Structure 1
Amino acid sequence: MAKVIAVNISEKKGTIKKPVLHGEFKIDHGMVGDAHAGDWHRQVSLLGQESIDKMISMGAKDLTPGKFAENITTEGICLYELPVGTQLKIGDTIQEVTQIGKKCHHGCEIKNLTGDCIMPREGIFTKIIKEGQVKPGDDIVII
C-alpha cells in the first residue's frame, strides 16, 4: 500500500524543506506557503523513501524527508515509473504527473557530498487537479 511518509515545505528556493503536520494544496498553485508553488507544471514535487534509501546506501548521511526539496515523501510506489498524465489521489487531493526528474541545480548539496543525486532520475512533479489537504499516513492511489 502506497502512502505519504512526510509533507515538507520551504519558504525560500534553494533551501531544504522542513516536515509539517499537513499541507494545503490549491489548484493552479500547489502547496500553500511553499517557495516552489505557482501556476506552472511543477507545482508539487514527490520523492520515494526508497530513492532516499539508495542515496543513504551510497554513503549520504543525515538524509531525512525534505532534504531533496520534495514536498511529499512517499513509500510503497515507484514514482518514476508512472507515465506523465497519471493521476494520483493523495489525501484529499488529486494530482497529475507532469514531469519525471529534473536537472540538479548548480551546487546541489547532495551531489557534492556523494557524487550523485537521485532527484534528477527518480523525483516526479505534479499539478493539482483537485485541491485539499495531505498529511503523513495518507494513502496514495493511482486513479
Structure 2
Amino acid sequence: MTSGIVLSLNVGRAEPNPAKGVNETGIGKRPVDHAVTVRPPGPKTTGLHSGVVGDFIGDTKHHGGDDQAVYAYAIEDYAWWSAELGRDLPPALFGENLTTEGLDLYNAVLGDRWRVGDSVILETTFGRIPCATFQHRMGEPRWIKRFAASNRTGAYLRILQGGEIRPGDSIEVFERPDHGLTLSEAFDIYMHHPENLSRLLVADALPASTRTEIEKRIR
C-alpha cells in the first residue's frame, strides 16, 4: 500500500458565482493552518452538503453529499498541469479540500480506503466531472474538455469515520479492492467509452446514483 501527507488543507467560503445558475460558489478554497472536523454530511441536496465543517458548497445539486463529502487533488497532478499550461498552479486552485503529496491519485482504485491522521477514514468514490464554474475559475480555453480528456480528475471521497484533519497529517492507503478499477480508467469509460460502462459496476464503492445512471445507460 502507499502513503502520503495532507500537503494543504483547504476550506471554501461563499463567493459570487458568475458562471452558473446559482448565485454563490465555494470553489475558491483557501489553505488553513488549523485542524478541521470532517463528518458525513448526509444526502446531497438536503444534508449538510460538505463533509468539511465550515466549507461552503453553492451548487448542492451537483456537489457535496455523502458520496462527494471530501475532494482531494494531488500536487503531482498539479505539476503535470503546470507543465501543460505553462503557469504555476498553487494548492487549492482546483477547489479541493485536501491537496495530497505522495499519493498516485491517477492510479488510485475505486474503493481505496485512506486513514488520515489519527482517526479519519475515507473511501474513494469517483472522479471529478468539470463544470462551468471550474472553467471560469481557471480562465483557460476549452478547460472543461481539456480537464476531462486528461483523466486526472482527483478523487471524491466518502467519510467512513469522522474526526479531525490537520495540515501535514499522514495518509495511509490501508485497503484496496481486488477489482483494480482505477479512478482514471472509470472516468475515461464514463466520459468517453460508453460501450464499456458495465466495467464500472464491479466497484462496490461507486455512488448509488452513479450506479443507477450507468445501469440505465446500459439498458
Q: Counterparts of 1:114 and 1:71 in 2: how far apart (Å)?
A: 24
Match of 1:63 in 2: 89
Q: SS of the counterpart of 1:98? A: strand
Amino acid at match of 2:147: C
Q: Contact 2:106/2:151 (CA < 8 Å) preserved in 1?
A: no
Match of 1:85 in 2: 111
Indicate which of 159, 166, 187 corresponds to 1:135: 166
Match of 2:38 in 1: 25
Report how many residues are paired: 142
Q: What's the Cα RMSD here?
A: 2.4
Match of 1:6 in 2: 8
Match of 2:192 in 1: none
1:110 CA displacement: 2.5
Q: Counterparts of 1:97 and 1:106 in 2: how far apart (Å)?
A: 24
Unaligned runs of 5+ in 1: none
Cα shift readout 1:66-87 (whole Å, capped 9, x = no counterpart)? 1000000001111232222111
Match of 1:122 in 2: 153
4+ residue runs over 4 A deviation: none
The structure whose residues are more often strand, as a share, is 1
Q: Normalised by the size of structure 2, how large is the TM-score?
A: 0.58
Percent identical pairs in the alignment equals 27
Unaligned runs of 5+ in 2: 15-24, 42-49, 58-62, 175-219
The higher-RCO structure (CA 8 Å, 6+ apart) is 1
Match of 1:98 in 2: 125
Q: Contact 2:37/2:164 (CA < 8 Å) preserved in 1?
A: yes
Q: Which has the larger radius of gyration?
A: 2
Amino acid at match of 1:93: V
Match of 2:28 in 1: 16
Q: Counterparts of 1:60 and 1:90 in 2: how far apart (Å)?
A: 32
Q: Contact 1:44/1:126 (CA < 8 Å) preserved in 2?
A: yes
With over 3 angstroms needed to count, the CA separation of the structure-2 counterparts of 1:117 and 1:19, relative to structure 1, is same
Residue 34 (str. 1) matches residue 61 (str. 2): no
Q: Counterparts of 2:26 and 2:88 in 1: how far apart (Å)?
A: 18
The structure whose residues are more often helix, as a share, is 2
1:15 CA displacement: 3.1
Q: Contact 1:102/1:120 (CA < 8 Å) preserved in 2?
A: no
